Amino acid sequence: MLDIQLLRKDLASVVTRLGSRDFTLDAAHFEAIENERKDLQTRTQDLQAQRNTLSKQIGMAKSQGLDASDLMQQVPAVNTALVDLEARLGTLQNEMQTFLAGIPNLPQDGVPVGFNEEGNVEVRRWGQPRSFDFTPLDHIDLGESLELLDFPTAVKIATSRFALMRGDLARLHRALAQFMLDVHTSEHGYEEIYVPYLVNADSLHGTGQLPKFEEDLFKVGDNLYLIPTAEVPVTNIVRDEIIPIENLPIRLVAHTPCFRSEAGSYGKDTRGMIRQHQFDKVELVQMVHPNDSAAALEELTGHAETILQRLNLPYRVMALCTGDMGFSAARTYDLEVWLPGQNTSREISSCSNFEAFQARRMQARFKNEAGKNELIHTLNGSGLAVGRCLVAVLENYQNADGSITIPEALRPYMRGIERLQANK
């Protein structure tokens, strides 16, 4: 959520900056409800003050044994006027909240301007795509011929966009998550954390998935949703909290499944493990002092890159352009890993600085140097998406005979085996 003060003071510039991400802010509508709100609020508060004064006088009179009936006669008229004003003010304030909650974050200066992924800018590139002396297969052909990856059975059990892994492939999947957690906790200073996989609407509102993106979520029961990312439960740890300044920065890492309805992505990536209703992800989350968030994003992105480097998977870092960034982000880097079986790069991590956008929704604050409460800045990034990482390992480490070499870094998690072979 943006600071409403900013809209009041500098509406024109907010409109311009949001325009760069292809969002049209209805400035006239804002000004209309803002003006009416101001008028209603001052009138309401004046009447409330009147009523409070009268009631106080009645109390004083009665405690002195005096007759208060004159005063008491004056109150109903005030109350009648108030009932109407308070109702209108309430409606208007809700309207304002809804309006504000639907506005995306302002892109930082320096974010490339563009309306779609065409506008993204490659920042750097790491690793050399391997050259094959045979035609590399994609992960589906590899996994299925090894009989370690089974989509039809997953469809039977659940529905499409689910996967079933067996044997050493399932183990490799687990190994990846373990490896990631170990690196982030022991080398990057993150605290490992285990969180609920169901969250309430308040939490989803705090990180920005609600109210706008309900259709992307799986809803369970009245007020619970399956998490679309660990970002939601982990970031909401600080909702409604005032954090002692010496506790910043907070760095948390969690390995969770993620559930996405993928509504509106019919026909997209229907084959394979790239786009699933359920996938595992190791998520990095940071809560930092506002002065430190820009540096923290670079650092956090580097933490995610470390995993790809240790696995020797070639990737590139993309600075997302204004129009391609998520709703809550002020700046985002995507990591795209090279997938030889598909002859393309695919997103495997998205690292974002949300500045105070989520913190304002969550009322997550710290006591600053002056002793005043100030909103923290939040960041997060995948470190990494486990399922897509598995895809990358399969495709990059495949051999001519269809077996998969286990990356060195994962062997300690794989009982030392060096290859994935056909399931026997």
Partner RNA sequence: GGAAAGGUGGCAGAGUGGUCGAAUGCACCGGAUUCGAAAUCCGGCAUACGGUUUACCGUAUCGGGGGUUCGAAUCCCCCCCUUUCCGCCA
The binding site for RNA (CB under 7 A) comprises 4-5, 8, 38, 41-42, 44-46, 48-49, 51-56, 58-60, 62-63, 72, 75-76, 79, 242, 365, 371-373
Q: Give least dist CB 327 to RNA, A.
A: 21
Q: What angle do CA 348, 309, 197 make, to 5 degrees?
A: 40
Residue 388 annotated among the catalytic residues of the structure: yes
The residue among 372 and 424 lying less far from RNA, judged by its C-beta, is 372
Amino acid at 184: H
| Closest listed residue to residue 273, CA positions, set 281, 263, 282, 283 | 281
Residue 260 annotated among the catalytic residues of the structure: yes
The residue among 6 and 422 lying less far from RNA, judged by its C-beta, is 6
Quick one: how far is CA 300 from the chain centroid? 15
Answer for the pair 150, 144: CB distance below 8 angstroms, yes or no.
yes
Q: Could you give the CA distance from residue 271 to residue 151 in angstroms, rounded to a whole number?
A: 9
State the catalytic residue, choosing from 36, 86, 347, 374.
347
Q: Give least dist CB 195 to RNA, A.
A: 15
Both tokens assigned to 399: 């051999």
Q: Give least dist CB 348 to RNA, A.
A: 32
Q: Give least dist CB 210 to RNA, A.
A: 17
State the catalytic residue, choosing from 231, 328, 388, 395.
388
The residue among 361 and 365 lying less far from RNA, judged by its C-beta, is 365
The residue among 5 and 159 lying less far from RNA, judged by its C-beta, is 5
Torsions phi, psi for 7 (to 5 deg) = -65, -35
3-state SS assignment for residue 244: coil
Residue 350 annotated among the catalytic residues of the structure: yes
Q: Give least dist CB 251 to RNA, A.
A: 22
Answer for the pair 130, 138: CB distance below 8 angstroms, yes or no.
no
What DSSP line would sit under 281-305, residue for residue? EEEEEEEE-GGGHHHHHHHHHHHHH
Answer for the pair 51, 82: CB distance below 8 angstroms, yes or no.
yes
The residue among 4 and 193 lying less far from RNA, judged by its C-beta, is 4
State the catalytic residue, choosing from 350, 355, 365, 395.
350
The residue among 47 and 311 lying less far from RNA, judged by its C-beta, is 47
The residue among 19 and 59 lying less far from RNA, judged by its C-beta, is 59
**Bridge pairing between strands 242-243 and 331-339:** unpaired
Q: Give least dist CB 168 to RNA, A.
A: 27
Q: How many CA atoms lie within 13 A of 216 on its CB side?
A: 13
State the catalytic residue, choosing from 21, 251, 260, 331.
260
State the catalytic residue, choosing from 275, 310, 316, 411.
275
Answer for the pair 316, 125: CB distance below 8 angstroms, yes or no.
yes
Q: What is the CA radius of gyration of the chain?
A: 27
Q: How many CA atoms lie within 13 A of 187 on its CB side?
A: 14
Answer for the pair 333, 297: CB distance below 8 angstroms, yes or no.
yes
The residue among 20 and 57 lying less far from RNA, judged by its C-beta, is 57
Q: Give least dist CB 63 to RNA, A.
A: 4
Q: Give least dist CB 359 to RNA, A.
A: 11
Torsions phi, psi for 104 (to 5 deg) = -75, 170
Angstrom CA distances, 296 to 73, 283, 301, 331, stand at: 62, 15, 8, 12
Strands (E) located in 161-314? 191-192, 198-200, 219-220, 224-226, 242-243, 250-259, 278-288
Cite the active site residues.
260, 275, 347, 350, 388
